[in-house]
Structure 1
Amino acid sequence: MIPIQLSVFFMIIYVLESLTIIVQSSLIVAVLGREWLQVRRLMPVDMILISLGISRFCLQWTSMLNDFCFYFNFNYVLCNLTITWKFFNVLTFWLNSLLTIFYCIKVSSFTHPIVLWLRWRILRWLPWLLLGCLMITCVTIIPSAIGNYIQIQFLTMEQLPRNSTVIDRLQKFHQYPLQAHTVELVVPFILFLASTIMLMASLIKQIQHHGTGHCNPSMKAHFTALRSLAILFIVFTSYFLTILITIIGTPFDKRCWLWVWEAFVYAFIFMHSTSLMLSSPTLKRILNGKC
Protein backbone atom coordinates (compact mmCIF):
# COMPACT_ATOMS: atom_id res chain seq x y z
CA MET A 1 0.00 0.00 0.00
CA ILE A 2 1.50 3.32 -1.04
CA PRO A 3 0.64 6.70 0.58
CA ILE A 4 -2.27 8.58 -0.95
CA GLN A 5 -0.05 11.64 -1.47
CA LEU A 6 2.32 9.58 -3.62
CA SER A 7 -0.59 8.19 -5.64
CA VAL A 8 -1.89 11.70 -6.28
CA PHE A 9 1.58 12.86 -7.30
CA PHE A 10 1.98 10.08 -9.87
CA MET A 11 -1.61 10.59 -11.03
CA ILE A 12 -0.74 14.20 -11.84
CA ILE A 13 2.46 13.08 -13.62
CA TYR A 14 0.45 10.57 -15.66
CA VAL A 15 -2.19 13.16 -16.62
CA LEU A 16 0.51 15.66 -17.64
CA GLU A 17 2.24 13.00 -19.75
CA SER A 18 -1.06 12.03 -21.38
CA LEU A 19 -1.98 15.64 -22.17
CA THR A 20 1.49 16.22 -23.63
CA ILE A 21 1.13 13.15 -25.86
CA ILE A 22 -2.31 14.36 -26.97
CA VAL A 23 -0.88 17.79 -27.82
CA GLN A 24 2.01 16.17 -29.74
CA SER A 25 -0.40 13.97 -31.72
CA SER A 26 -2.69 16.92 -32.44
CA LEU A 27 0.31 18.98 -33.57
CA ILE A 28 1.46 16.24 -35.97
CA VAL A 29 -2.00 15.96 -37.53
CA ALA A 30 -2.63 19.73 -37.66
CA VAL A 31 0.75 20.77 -39.10
CA LEU A 32 1.07 17.96 -41.65
CA GLY A 33 -2.64 18.17 -42.54
CA ARG A 34 -2.31 21.91 -43.21
CA GLU A 35 0.76 21.25 -45.35
CA TRP A 36 -1.20 18.59 -47.26
CA LEU A 37 -4.03 21.06 -48.00
CA GLN A 38 -1.62 23.81 -49.09
CA VAL A 39 0.79 21.81 -51.25
CA ARG A 40 -1.67 19.10 -52.36
CA ARG A 41 1.00 16.48 -51.83
CA LEU A 42 2.71 14.92 -48.85
CA MET A 43 5.75 12.76 -48.28
CA PRO A 44 4.92 9.08 -47.66
CA VAL A 45 6.47 9.22 -44.18
CA ASP A 46 4.18 12.14 -43.31
CA MET A 47 1.12 10.19 -44.48
CA ILE A 48 2.01 7.42 -42.01
CA LEU A 49 2.71 9.99 -39.28
CA ILE A 50 -0.73 11.60 -39.76
CA SER A 51 -2.36 8.19 -39.39
CA LEU A 52 -0.21 7.50 -36.32
CA GLY A 53 -1.10 10.88 -34.84
CA ILE A 54 -4.84 10.24 -35.19
CA SER A 55 -4.50 6.75 -33.73
CA ARG A 56 -2.30 7.91 -30.84
CA PHE A 57 -4.69 10.82 -30.08
CA CYS A 58 -7.68 8.45 -29.77
CA LEU A 59 -5.59 5.88 -27.88
CA GLN A 60 -4.45 8.39 -25.27
CA TRP A 61 -7.92 9.73 -24.51
CA THR A 62 -9.27 6.17 -24.27
CA SER A 63 -6.38 5.19 -22.01
CA MET A 64 -7.08 8.06 -19.60
CA LEU A 65 -10.79 7.21 -19.39
CA ASN A 66 -9.95 3.52 -19.05
CA ASP A 67 -7.54 4.08 -16.15
CA PHE A 68 -9.88 6.36 -14.21
CA CYS A 69 -12.80 3.96 -14.67
CA PHE A 70 -10.61 1.10 -13.40
CA TYR A 71 -9.43 3.12 -10.40
CA PHE A 72 -12.96 4.17 -9.39
CA ASN A 73 -14.54 0.74 -10.11
CA PHE A 74 -16.80 1.77 -13.01
CA ASN A 75 -16.74 -1.82 -14.29
CA TYR A 76 -19.45 -1.64 -16.94
CA VAL A 77 -18.03 1.53 -18.48
CA LEU A 78 -14.56 -0.01 -18.23
CA CYS A 79 -15.56 -3.09 -20.25
CA ASN A 80 -16.86 -0.93 -23.09
CA LEU A 81 -13.77 1.29 -23.06
CA THR A 82 -11.32 -1.61 -22.92
CA ILE A 83 -12.14 -2.90 -26.41
CA THR A 84 -11.75 0.63 -27.83
CA TRP A 85 -8.35 0.95 -26.14
CA LYS A 86 -7.29 -2.43 -27.52
CA PHE A 87 -8.36 -1.45 -31.04
CA PHE A 88 -6.32 1.75 -31.11
CA ASN A 89 -3.39 0.08 -29.36
CA VAL A 90 -3.20 -2.66 -32.02
CA LEU A 91 -3.64 -0.09 -34.81
CA THR A 92 -0.80 2.03 -33.37
CA PHE A 93 1.48 -1.01 -33.28
CA TRP A 94 0.72 -1.84 -36.92
CA LEU A 95 1.29 1.75 -38.06
CA ASN A 96 4.61 1.88 -36.18
CA SER A 97 5.63 -1.35 -37.88
CA LEU A 98 4.63 0.06 -41.28
CA LEU A 99 6.72 3.19 -40.64
CA THR A 100 9.78 1.10 -39.77
CA ILE A 101 9.27 -1.21 -42.77
CA PHE A 102 9.00 1.85 -45.05
CA TYR A 103 12.26 3.29 -43.70
CA CYS A 104 13.96 -0.10 -44.03
CA ILE A 105 12.95 -0.46 -47.69
CA LYS A 106 13.69 3.14 -48.72
CA VAL A 107 16.85 3.88 -46.71
CA SER A 108 18.66 0.54 -46.49
CA SER A 109 21.43 -0.34 -48.95
CA PHE A 110 20.26 -3.91 -49.56
CA THR A 111 20.30 -4.89 -53.24
CA HIS A 112 18.28 -8.10 -53.04
CA PRO A 113 15.75 -8.27 -55.93
CA ILE A 114 12.80 -8.46 -53.52
CA VAL A 115 13.96 -5.31 -51.70
CA LEU A 116 14.49 -3.47 -54.98
CA TRP A 117 11.06 -4.53 -56.21
CA LEU A 118 9.43 -3.37 -52.96
CA ARG A 119 11.35 -0.07 -53.11
CA TRP A 120 9.83 0.60 -56.52
CA ARG A 121 6.30 -0.42 -55.50
CA ILE A 122 5.88 0.80 -51.93
CA LEU A 123 5.12 4.44 -52.79
CA ARG A 124 2.06 3.60 -54.87
CA TRP A 125 1.03 0.91 -52.40
CA LEU A 126 1.20 3.15 -49.34
CA PRO A 127 -2.51 4.23 -49.22
CA TRP A 128 -3.50 0.57 -49.55
CA LEU A 129 -1.01 -0.43 -46.85
CA LEU A 130 -2.54 2.14 -44.48
CA LEU A 131 -5.99 0.77 -45.27
CA GLY A 132 -4.59 -2.74 -44.79
CA CYS A 133 -3.37 -1.83 -41.27
CA LEU A 134 -6.90 -0.69 -40.43
CA MET A 135 -8.50 -3.85 -41.86
CA ILE A 136 -6.01 -6.17 -40.13
CA THR A 137 -6.73 -4.41 -36.83
CA CYS A 138 -10.48 -4.83 -37.33
CA VAL A 139 -10.03 -8.56 -38.02
CA THR A 140 -7.52 -9.31 -35.26
CA ILE A 141 -9.56 -7.45 -32.64
CA ILE A 142 -12.52 -9.85 -33.10
CA PRO A 143 -11.21 -12.45 -30.56
CA SER A 144 -10.71 -9.66 -28.02
CA ALA A 145 -14.22 -8.35 -28.72
CA ILE A 146 -15.66 -11.83 -28.12
CA GLY A 147 -13.65 -12.20 -24.92
CA ASN A 148 -14.74 -8.72 -23.84
CA TYR A 149 -18.40 -9.68 -24.39
CA ILE A 150 -17.87 -12.79 -22.23
CA GLN A 151 -16.36 -10.59 -19.52
CA ILE A 152 -19.43 -8.32 -19.57
CA GLN A 153 -21.67 -11.38 -19.25
CA PHE A 154 -19.56 -12.54 -16.31
CA LEU A 155 -20.08 -9.19 -14.55
CA THR A 156 -23.83 -9.43 -15.22
CA MET A 157 -24.03 -12.97 -13.83
CA GLU A 158 -22.32 -11.85 -10.63
CA GLN A 159 -25.35 -9.67 -9.83
CA LEU A 160 -27.83 -12.55 -10.34
CA PRO A 161 -28.51 -15.77 -8.38
CA ARG A 162 -25.54 -18.03 -9.02
CA ASN A 163 -25.62 -20.70 -11.69
CA SER A 164 -22.39 -22.50 -10.83
CA THR A 165 -21.98 -24.18 -14.24
CA VAL A 166 -22.32 -20.92 -16.20
CA ILE A 167 -20.15 -19.00 -13.73
CA ASP A 168 -17.39 -21.62 -13.94
CA ARG A 169 -17.39 -21.49 -17.74
CA LEU A 170 -17.28 -17.72 -17.78
CA GLN A 171 -14.44 -17.69 -15.25
CA LYS A 172 -12.36 -19.84 -17.60
CA PHE A 173 -12.74 -17.18 -20.30
CA HIS A 174 -12.27 -14.26 -17.92
CA GLN A 175 -8.61 -13.76 -18.92
CA TYR A 176 -9.19 -14.54 -22.59
CA PRO A 177 -9.39 -10.88 -23.78
CA LEU A 178 -5.92 -10.15 -22.35
CA GLN A 179 -4.38 -13.30 -23.84
CA ALA A 180 -5.85 -12.53 -27.27
CA HIS A 181 -4.54 -8.96 -27.06
CA THR A 182 -1.03 -10.29 -26.39
CA VAL A 183 -1.09 -12.25 -29.67
CA GLU A 184 -2.45 -9.22 -31.54
CA LEU A 185 0.55 -7.13 -30.47
CA VAL A 186 3.29 -9.73 -30.95
CA VAL A 187 2.99 -9.97 -34.77
CA PRO A 188 3.43 -6.24 -35.56
CA PHE A 189 6.16 -6.00 -32.92
CA ILE A 190 8.12 -8.84 -34.58
CA LEU A 191 7.84 -6.98 -37.93
CA PHE A 192 9.06 -3.80 -36.23
CA LEU A 193 11.93 -5.73 -34.63
CA ALA A 194 13.04 -7.37 -37.90
CA SER A 195 12.83 -4.12 -39.91
CA THR A 196 14.74 -2.14 -37.29
CA ILE A 197 17.53 -4.70 -37.02
CA MET A 198 17.87 -4.88 -40.83
CA LEU A 199 17.99 -1.09 -41.12
CA MET A 200 20.57 -0.75 -38.33
CA ALA A 201 22.71 -3.45 -39.96
CA SER A 202 22.50 -1.57 -43.28
CA LEU A 203 23.51 1.74 -41.67
CA ILE A 204 26.44 0.13 -39.85
CA LYS A 205 27.56 -1.44 -43.14
CA GLN A 206 27.41 1.95 -44.88
CA ILE A 207 29.42 3.58 -42.07
CA GLN A 208 32.09 0.87 -42.31
CA HIS A 209 32.18 1.29 -46.09
CA HIS A 210 32.86 5.03 -45.82
CA GLY A 211 35.50 4.49 -43.14
CA THR A 212 35.68 6.03 -39.68
CA GLY A 213 38.38 8.53 -40.54
CA HIS A 214 36.31 10.75 -42.80
CA CYS A 215 33.92 13.14 -41.05
CA ASN A 216 31.95 13.93 -44.21
CA PRO A 217 28.26 14.93 -44.22
CA SER A 218 27.23 11.44 -45.34
CA MET A 219 28.97 9.85 -42.35
CA LYS A 220 27.39 12.33 -39.95
CA ALA A 221 23.95 11.66 -41.45
CA HIS A 222 24.44 7.92 -41.05
CA PHE A 223 25.57 8.30 -37.42
CA THR A 224 22.60 10.57 -36.66
CA ALA A 225 20.16 8.15 -38.28
CA LEU A 226 21.70 5.20 -36.43
CA ARG A 227 21.51 7.00 -33.08
CA SER A 228 17.88 8.02 -33.66
CA LEU A 229 16.99 4.49 -34.73
CA ALA A 230 18.66 3.00 -31.64
CA ILE A 231 16.70 5.36 -29.38
CA LEU A 232 13.44 4.53 -31.17
CA PHE A 233 14.22 0.82 -30.89
CA ILE A 234 14.91 1.00 -27.15
CA VAL A 235 11.87 3.17 -26.40
CA PHE A 236 9.37 1.15 -28.46
CA THR A 237 10.71 -2.19 -27.17
CA SER A 238 10.45 -0.92 -23.59
CA TYR A 239 6.87 0.18 -24.25
CA PHE A 240 6.01 -3.24 -25.68
CA LEU A 241 7.53 -5.04 -22.69
CA THR A 242 5.68 -2.84 -20.18
CA ILE A 243 2.39 -3.43 -22.04
CA LEU A 244 3.17 -7.16 -22.03
CA ILE A 245 3.82 -7.13 -18.27
CA THR A 246 0.55 -5.24 -17.76
CA ILE A 247 -1.37 -7.83 -19.80
CA ILE A 248 0.25 -10.90 -18.23
CA GLY A 249 -0.08 -9.51 -14.73
CA THR A 250 2.09 -7.50 -12.37
CA PRO A 251 3.39 -8.83 -9.03
CA PHE A 252 1.81 -5.93 -7.12
CA ASP A 253 -1.69 -4.66 -6.43
CA LYS A 254 -2.75 -2.94 -9.65
CA ARG A 255 -5.12 -0.48 -8.04
CA CYS A 256 -2.62 0.67 -5.39
CA TRP A 257 0.27 1.00 -7.83
CA LEU A 258 -1.81 2.00 -10.88
CA TRP A 259 -0.63 5.61 -11.22
CA VAL A 260 3.02 4.77 -10.52
CA TRP A 261 2.97 2.10 -13.21
CA GLU A 262 1.04 4.22 -15.73
CA ALA A 263 3.39 7.18 -15.24
CA PHE A 264 6.30 4.81 -15.91
CA VAL A 265 4.68 3.29 -19.03
CA TYR A 266 3.57 6.57 -20.58
CA ALA A 267 6.99 8.11 -20.10
CA PHE A 268 8.10 5.65 -22.83
CA ILE A 269 5.14 6.66 -25.01
CA PHE A 270 6.04 10.33 -24.56
CA MET A 271 9.63 9.63 -25.68
CA HIS A 272 8.38 7.55 -28.59
CA SER A 273 5.96 10.28 -29.67
CA THR A 274 8.79 12.83 -29.51
CA SER A 275 10.99 10.56 -31.66
CA LEU A 276 8.21 10.30 -34.23
CA MET A 277 7.91 14.08 -34.42
CA LEU A 278 11.65 14.38 -35.04
CA SER A 279 11.52 11.71 -37.78
CA SER A 280 9.55 13.96 -40.17
CA PRO A 281 11.67 16.41 -42.20
CA THR A 282 8.50 18.31 -43.18
CA LEU A 283 7.40 18.70 -39.56
CA LYS A 284 10.86 19.80 -38.40
CA ARG A 285 11.11 22.33 -41.23
CA ILE A 286 7.71 23.86 -40.47
CA LEU A 287 8.23 23.95 -36.71
CA ASN A 288 11.69 25.51 -37.10
CA GLY A 289 10.17 28.18 -39.33
CA LYS A 290 7.31 28.90 -36.91
CA CYS A 291 9.48 28.83 -33.75
Structure 2
Amino acid sequence: MPIQLTVFFIIIYMLLSLTIIVQSSLIFAMLGKEWVQGKRLLPVDMILTSLGISHFCRQWASMLYNFCTYFDPNFLFWYLSVIWDFANNATFWFTSLLAVFYCVKVSSFTHPIFLWLKWRISRLVPWPLLGSLLFSCVTIIPSTIRSHTRSQIIMESSPRNSTATDRLKIFEQYVSIPQQMVTLAIPFLLFLPSTIFLMTSRSQHLQQMQDHHNTGYCISNMKAHSTALRSLAIFLVFFTTYFLTLLVSILAHLFEKRSWFWAWEAVIYTLSCIHSTSLMLSSPTLQKFLKKGH
Protein backbone atom coordinates (compact mmCIF):
# COMPACT_ATOMS: atom_id res chain seq x y z
CA MET A 1 0.00 0.00 0.00
CA PRO A 2 1.31 3.52 -0.78
CA ILE A 3 2.62 5.39 2.26
CA GLN A 4 0.06 8.18 1.72
CA LEU A 5 -2.84 5.71 2.03
CA THR A 6 -1.27 4.13 5.10
CA VAL A 7 -1.00 7.53 6.81
CA PHE A 8 -4.59 8.33 5.80
CA PHE A 9 -5.95 5.14 7.36
CA ILE A 10 -3.83 5.65 10.49
CA ILE A 11 -5.40 9.11 10.93
CA ILE A 12 -8.90 7.68 10.36
CA TYR A 13 -8.21 4.92 12.88
CA MET A 14 -6.98 7.43 15.48
CA LEU A 15 -10.03 9.67 15.02
CA LEU A 16 -12.39 6.70 15.34
CA SER A 17 -10.55 5.46 18.43
CA LEU A 18 -10.74 8.86 20.11
CA THR A 19 -14.45 9.09 19.25
CA ILE A 20 -15.15 5.70 20.84
CA ILE A 21 -13.13 6.62 23.93
CA VAL A 22 -15.03 9.92 24.33
CA GLN A 23 -18.39 8.17 23.83
CA SER A 24 -17.50 5.48 26.36
CA SER A 25 -16.34 8.10 28.85
CA LEU A 26 -19.60 10.01 28.44
CA ILE A 27 -21.66 6.87 29.01
CA PHE A 28 -19.73 6.07 32.19
CA ALA A 29 -19.71 9.69 33.42
CA MET A 30 -23.42 10.35 32.88
CA LEU A 31 -24.64 7.05 34.27
CA GLY A 32 -22.04 7.21 37.06
CA LYS A 33 -23.43 10.63 38.01
CA GLU A 34 -26.86 9.05 38.44
CA TRP A 35 -25.37 6.42 40.73
CA VAL A 36 -23.38 8.97 42.80
CA GLN A 37 -26.51 11.08 43.27
CA GLY A 38 -28.14 8.10 44.94
CA LYS A 39 -30.42 7.18 42.09
CA ARG A 40 -30.77 3.49 41.36
CA LEU A 41 -29.58 2.59 37.88
CA LEU A 42 -32.07 0.89 35.59
CA PRO A 43 -31.03 -2.63 34.52
CA VAL A 44 -30.46 -1.40 30.96
CA ASP A 45 -28.20 1.38 32.28
CA MET A 46 -26.20 -1.17 34.29
CA ILE A 47 -25.55 -3.09 31.05
CA LEU A 48 -24.71 0.12 29.16
CA THR A 49 -22.29 1.20 31.90
CA SER A 50 -20.54 -2.17 31.61
CA LEU A 51 -20.43 -1.75 27.83
CA GLY A 52 -18.99 1.74 28.17
CA ILE A 53 -16.17 0.47 30.41
CA SER A 54 -15.40 -2.48 28.10
CA HIS A 55 -15.36 -0.20 25.03
CA PHE A 56 -13.02 2.24 26.82
CA CYS A 57 -10.55 -0.47 27.86
CA ARG A 58 -10.68 -2.24 24.51
CA GLN A 59 -9.96 0.93 22.53
CA TRP A 60 -7.01 2.01 24.64
CA ALA A 61 -5.57 -1.50 24.47
CA SER A 62 -6.11 -1.51 20.70
CA MET A 63 -4.31 1.80 20.18
CA LEU A 64 -1.32 0.92 22.37
CA TYR A 65 -1.00 -2.60 21.00
CA ASN A 66 -1.40 -1.65 17.32
CA PHE A 67 1.09 1.22 17.35
CA CYS A 68 3.70 -0.53 19.50
CA THR A 69 3.65 -3.83 17.61
CA TYR A 70 3.36 -2.23 14.16
CA PHE A 71 6.27 0.18 14.51
CA ASP A 72 8.40 -2.01 16.79
CA PRO A 73 7.34 -5.70 16.55
CA ASN A 74 10.13 -6.75 18.92
CA PHE A 75 8.93 -4.52 21.73
CA LEU A 76 7.33 -6.38 24.64
CA PHE A 77 3.75 -5.15 24.33
CA TRP A 78 2.20 -8.50 23.45
CA TYR A 79 0.32 -8.67 26.76
CA LEU A 80 -1.85 -5.76 25.64
CA SER A 81 -3.52 -8.18 23.24
CA VAL A 82 -4.77 -10.11 26.28
CA ILE A 83 -6.47 -6.96 27.61
CA TRP A 84 -7.98 -6.36 24.16
CA ASP A 85 -9.27 -9.96 23.98
CA PHE A 86 -10.81 -9.70 27.45
CA ALA A 87 -12.49 -6.34 26.75
CA ASN A 88 -13.71 -7.45 23.33
CA ASN A 89 -15.15 -10.70 24.68
CA ALA A 90 -16.88 -8.76 27.46
CA THR A 91 -18.28 -6.33 24.87
CA PHE A 92 -19.83 -9.20 22.91
CA TRP A 93 -21.37 -10.72 26.02
CA PHE A 94 -22.74 -7.39 27.28
CA THR A 95 -24.20 -6.65 23.84
CA SER A 96 -25.91 -10.03 23.70
CA LEU A 97 -27.22 -9.49 27.24
CA LEU A 98 -28.64 -6.11 26.19
CA ALA A 99 -30.37 -7.73 23.21
CA VAL A 100 -31.83 -10.48 25.41
CA PHE A 101 -33.01 -7.91 27.97
CA TYR A 102 -34.81 -5.79 25.38
CA CYS A 103 -36.27 -8.90 23.73
CA VAL A 104 -37.77 -10.11 27.00
CA LYS A 105 -38.96 -6.72 28.31
CA VAL A 106 -40.32 -5.23 25.09
CA SER A 107 -41.52 -8.22 23.07
CA SER A 108 -45.26 -8.90 23.11
CA PHE A 109 -44.96 -12.69 22.97
CA THR A 110 -47.23 -14.50 25.43
CA HIS A 111 -45.30 -17.74 25.75
CA PRO A 112 -45.00 -18.77 29.44
CA ILE A 113 -41.18 -18.66 29.29
CA PHE A 114 -41.27 -15.04 28.06
CA LEU A 115 -43.79 -14.08 30.72
CA TRP A 116 -41.70 -15.72 33.46
CA LEU A 117 -38.53 -13.96 32.28
CA LYS A 118 -40.32 -10.61 31.83
CA TRP A 119 -41.28 -10.70 35.51
CA ARG A 120 -37.81 -11.59 36.82
CA ILE A 121 -35.17 -10.39 34.37
CA SER A 122 -34.75 -6.91 35.91
CA ARG A 123 -33.64 -8.47 39.21
CA LEU A 124 -31.45 -11.06 37.50
CA VAL A 125 -29.34 -8.63 35.40
CA PRO A 126 -26.37 -8.34 37.84
CA TRP A 127 -25.79 -12.09 37.70
CA PRO A 128 -25.45 -12.37 33.90
CA LEU A 129 -23.11 -9.35 34.03
CA LEU A 130 -20.91 -11.12 36.56
CA GLY A 131 -21.09 -14.33 34.54
CA SER A 132 -20.02 -12.45 31.40
CA LEU A 133 -16.92 -11.14 33.20
CA LEU A 134 -16.02 -14.59 34.54
CA PHE A 135 -16.49 -16.22 31.15
CA SER A 136 -14.36 -13.51 29.51
CA CYS A 137 -11.60 -14.21 32.07
CA VAL A 138 -11.66 -17.93 31.26
CA THR A 139 -11.60 -17.42 27.49
CA ILE A 140 -8.41 -15.31 27.52
CA ILE A 141 -6.30 -18.23 28.83
CA PRO A 142 -5.16 -19.19 25.28
CA SER A 143 -4.37 -15.52 24.56
CA THR A 144 -2.26 -15.36 27.71
CA ILE A 145 -0.35 -18.50 26.72
CA ARG A 146 0.20 -17.13 23.21
CA SER A 147 1.42 -13.75 24.48
CA HIS A 148 3.74 -15.34 27.04
CA THR A 149 5.24 -17.60 24.37
CA ARG A 150 5.82 -14.67 22.03
CA SER A 151 7.53 -12.72 24.80
CA GLN A 152 9.82 -15.64 25.57
CA ILE A 153 10.75 -16.01 21.89
CA ILE A 154 11.64 -12.31 21.66
CA MET A 155 13.63 -12.24 24.91
CA GLU A 156 15.62 -15.40 24.25
CA SER A 157 18.05 -15.57 21.36
CA SER A 158 18.89 -19.24 20.99
CA PRO A 159 18.73 -21.95 18.30
CA ARG A 160 15.57 -23.39 19.82
CA ASN A 161 13.73 -20.17 18.96
CA SER A 162 12.78 -21.56 15.56
CA THR A 163 11.23 -24.62 17.19
CA ALA A 164 9.32 -22.45 19.66
CA THR A 165 8.10 -20.25 16.79
CA ASP A 166 6.85 -23.29 14.88
CA ARG A 167 5.05 -24.54 17.98
CA LEU A 168 3.48 -21.10 18.46
CA LYS A 169 2.19 -21.11 14.87
CA ILE A 170 0.68 -24.56 15.37
CA PHE A 171 -0.88 -23.45 18.67
CA GLU A 172 -2.40 -20.36 17.00
CA GLN A 173 -3.68 -22.30 14.00
CA TYR A 174 -5.28 -25.21 15.86
CA VAL A 175 -6.08 -23.81 19.31
CA SER A 176 -5.98 -20.03 19.66
CA ILE A 177 -7.70 -18.93 16.45
CA PRO A 178 -10.54 -21.53 16.57
CA GLN A 179 -11.04 -20.67 20.26
CA GLN A 180 -11.31 -16.95 19.49
CA MET A 181 -13.87 -17.61 16.76
CA VAL A 182 -16.00 -19.84 18.98
CA THR A 183 -15.73 -17.37 21.88
CA LEU A 184 -17.16 -14.57 19.71
CA ALA A 185 -19.72 -16.82 18.02
CA ILE A 186 -21.44 -17.96 21.24
CA PRO A 187 -22.59 -14.49 22.44
CA PHE A 188 -23.34 -13.46 18.85
CA LEU A 189 -25.66 -16.48 18.49
CA LEU A 190 -27.50 -15.19 21.57
CA PHE A 191 -27.64 -11.66 20.17
CA LEU A 192 -28.91 -12.66 16.72
CA PRO A 193 -32.15 -14.54 17.61
CA SER A 194 -32.94 -12.10 20.43
CA THR A 195 -32.79 -9.14 18.04
CA ILE A 196 -34.75 -10.99 15.35
CA PHE A 197 -37.45 -11.98 17.87
CA LEU A 198 -37.66 -8.38 19.07
CA MET A 199 -37.97 -7.07 15.50
CA THR A 200 -40.65 -9.68 14.74
CA SER A 201 -42.62 -8.70 17.83
CA ARG A 202 -42.39 -4.98 17.02
CA SER A 203 -43.37 -5.64 13.41
CA GLN A 204 -46.43 -7.64 14.46
CA HIS A 205 -47.46 -4.95 16.93
CA LEU A 206 -47.04 -2.26 14.27
CA GLN A 207 -49.18 -4.25 11.84
CA GLN A 208 -51.93 -4.59 14.44
CA MET A 209 -51.90 -0.83 15.04
CA GLN A 210 -52.13 -0.15 11.32
CA ASP A 211 -55.08 -2.54 10.95
CA HIS A 212 -57.20 -1.28 13.85
CA HIS A 213 -56.37 2.38 14.59
CA ASN A 214 -56.31 5.54 12.54
CA THR A 215 -56.36 8.28 15.19
CA GLY A 216 -53.73 11.00 15.32
CA TYR A 217 -52.26 9.59 18.53
CA CYS A 218 -51.97 6.10 17.08
CA ILE A 219 -50.41 7.45 13.90
CA SER A 220 -47.67 9.17 15.93
CA ASN A 221 -47.27 6.00 17.98
CA MET A 222 -46.90 3.99 14.79
CA LYS A 223 -44.20 6.38 13.59
CA ALA A 224 -42.32 5.83 16.86
CA HIS A 225 -42.56 2.06 16.43
CA SER A 226 -41.42 2.33 12.81
CA THR A 227 -38.40 4.39 13.91
CA ALA A 228 -37.57 1.85 16.62
CA LEU A 229 -37.86 -0.97 14.08
CA ARG A 230 -35.48 0.78 11.67
CA SER A 231 -33.02 1.41 14.51
CA LEU A 232 -33.08 -2.29 15.43
CA ALA A 233 -32.48 -3.24 11.80
CA ILE A 234 -29.49 -0.86 11.58
CA PHE A 235 -28.11 -2.15 14.88
CA LEU A 236 -28.46 -5.75 13.67
CA VAL A 237 -26.75 -5.06 10.34
CA PHE A 238 -23.79 -3.16 11.79
CA PHE A 239 -23.13 -5.49 14.73
CA THR A 240 -23.35 -8.51 12.42
CA THR A 241 -20.90 -6.84 10.03
CA TYR A 242 -18.59 -6.03 12.95
CA PHE A 243 -18.69 -9.69 14.02
CA LEU A 244 -17.88 -10.90 10.49
CA THR A 245 -15.01 -8.42 10.04
CA LEU A 246 -13.48 -9.59 13.33
CA LEU A 247 -13.66 -13.20 12.14
CA VAL A 248 -11.90 -12.24 8.91
CA SER A 249 -9.32 -10.27 10.89
CA ILE A 250 -8.64 -13.27 13.16
CA LEU A 251 -8.18 -15.56 10.15
CA ALA A 252 -5.91 -12.98 8.49
CA HIS A 253 -3.29 -13.59 11.21
CA LEU A 254 -2.61 -16.93 9.56
CA PHE A 255 -1.33 -15.19 6.44
CA GLU A 256 0.54 -12.28 8.07
CA LYS A 257 -0.43 -9.75 5.42
CA ARG A 258 0.31 -6.32 6.92
CA SER A 259 0.02 -4.10 3.83
CA TRP A 260 -3.68 -3.38 4.43
CA PHE A 261 -3.48 -3.58 8.24
CA TRP A 262 -4.51 0.04 8.96
CA ALA A 263 -7.26 0.02 6.32
CA TRP A 264 -8.74 -3.06 7.96
CA GLU A 265 -8.46 -1.52 11.42
CA ALA A 266 -10.27 1.60 10.14
CA VAL A 267 -13.11 -0.57 8.79
CA ILE A 268 -13.44 -2.54 12.05
CA TYR A 269 -13.57 0.54 14.27
CA THR A 270 -15.90 2.44 11.95
CA LEU A 271 -18.42 -0.32 12.65
CA SER A 272 -17.52 -0.25 16.35
CA CYS A 273 -18.04 3.53 16.46
CA ILE A 274 -21.50 3.19 14.91
CA HIS A 275 -22.26 0.43 17.41
CA SER A 276 -21.14 2.66 20.30
CA THR A 277 -23.28 5.56 19.02
CA SER A 278 -26.39 3.36 18.76
CA LEU A 279 -25.81 2.20 22.34
CA MET A 280 -25.78 5.78 23.59
CA LEU A 281 -29.11 6.43 21.90
CA SER A 282 -30.72 3.30 23.37
CA SER A 283 -30.69 4.45 27.00
CA PRO A 284 -33.60 6.59 28.29
CA THR A 285 -31.29 8.09 30.92
CA LEU A 286 -28.66 9.08 28.34
CA GLN A 287 -31.36 10.49 26.06
CA LYS A 288 -32.47 12.80 28.89
CA PHE A 289 -28.89 14.04 29.37
CA LEU A 290 -28.48 14.64 25.64
CA LYS A 291 -31.75 16.61 25.48
CA LYS A 292 -30.67 18.74 28.43
CA GLY A 293 -27.43 19.44 26.60
CA HIS A 294 -29.39 20.93 23.72
Give the TM-score normalised by the residue count of structure 2. Answer: 0.91
| Alignment partners' CA distance in 1, 2:23 and 2:249 | 25
Which residue of the partner structure matches residue 139 of structure 2? 140
Which residue of the partner structure matches residue 239 of structure 2? 236
Is 1:272 matched up with 2:275? yes
User: How far off its partner does 1:117 sit?
Assistant: 0.8
User: How far off its partner does 1:252 sit?
Assistant: 8.2
Number of residue-to-residue matches in the alignment: 289
| Alignment partners' CA distance in 1, 2:177 and 2:77 | 14
Cα deviation, 1:146-183, whole Å, max 9, x if unaligned, reads 343344445456x2113776554343214332332111
Q: Choose 4-13 or 99-108, whichever is displaced more.
A: 4-13
Alignment of 1:52-131 (within 5 A): 52-131=51-130
Alignment of 1:217-236 (within 5 A): 217-236=220-239
| Alignment partners' CA distance in 2, 1:171 and 1:77 | 18
Q: 1:10 to 1:164 in 2, by over 3 A?
A: closer
Q: 1:167 to 1:15 in 2, by over 3 A?
A: closer
Is 1:249 matched up with 2:247? no
| Alignment partners' CA distance in 1, 2:150 and 2:193 | 35
Cα deviation, 1:25-78, whole Å, max 9, x if unaligned, reads 000100111022224212111111111001100000001111112311334534
- SS of equivalent residue, structure 1 residue 255: coil
| Alignment partners' CA distance in 2, 1:124 and 1:67 | 40
Q: Are the counterparts in 2 of residues 17 and 263 from structure 1 also a CA contact under 8 Å?
A: yes
Which residue of the partner structure matches residue 171 of structure 1? 169
Q: Which runs of 5+ in 1 are unaligned?
A: none
Cα deviation, 1:113-154, whole Å, max 9, x if unaligned, reads 111111111111111121111111112222332343344445
Which residue of the partner structure matches residue 206 of structure 2? 207
| AA in 2 matched with 1:110 | F
Give the TM-score normalised by the residue count of structure 1. Answer: 0.92
Q: Choose 175-184 or 200-209, whichever is displaced more.
A: 175-184
Is 1:263 matched up with 2:261? no
| AA in 2 matched with 1:229 | L
- SS of equivalent residue, structure 1 residue 210: helix
- SS of equivalent residue, structure 2 residue 160: coil
| Alignment partners' CA distance in 2, 1:42 and 1:130 | 14
| Alignment partners' CA distance in 2, 1:177 and 1:151 | 13
Q: 1:201 to 1:132 in 2, by over 3 A?
A: same
| Alignment partners' CA distance in 2, 1:287 and 1:165 | 56
Q: Which runs of 5+ in 2 are unaligned?
A: none
Q: Are the counterparts in 2 of residues 196 and 229 from structure 1 also a CA contact under 8 Å?
A: yes
Cα deviation, 1:221-279, whole Å, max 9, x if unaligned, reads 21111111011001101111111100011798642212111111111111111100110
Which residue of the partner structure matches residue 26 of structure 2? 27
| Alignment partners' CA distance in 2, 1:189 and 1:261 | 21
| AA in 2 matched with 1:237 | T
| Alignment partners' CA distance in 2, 1:264 and 1:251 | 19
| Alignment partners' CA distance in 2, 1:164 and 1:11 | 32
Q: Choose 106-115 or 78-87, whichever is displaced more.
A: 78-87
| Alignment partners' CA distance in 1, 2:53 and 2:81 | 18
Q: Choose 66-75 or 278-287, whichever is displaced more.
A: 66-75
Q: 1:110 to 1:69 in 2, by over 3 A?
A: same
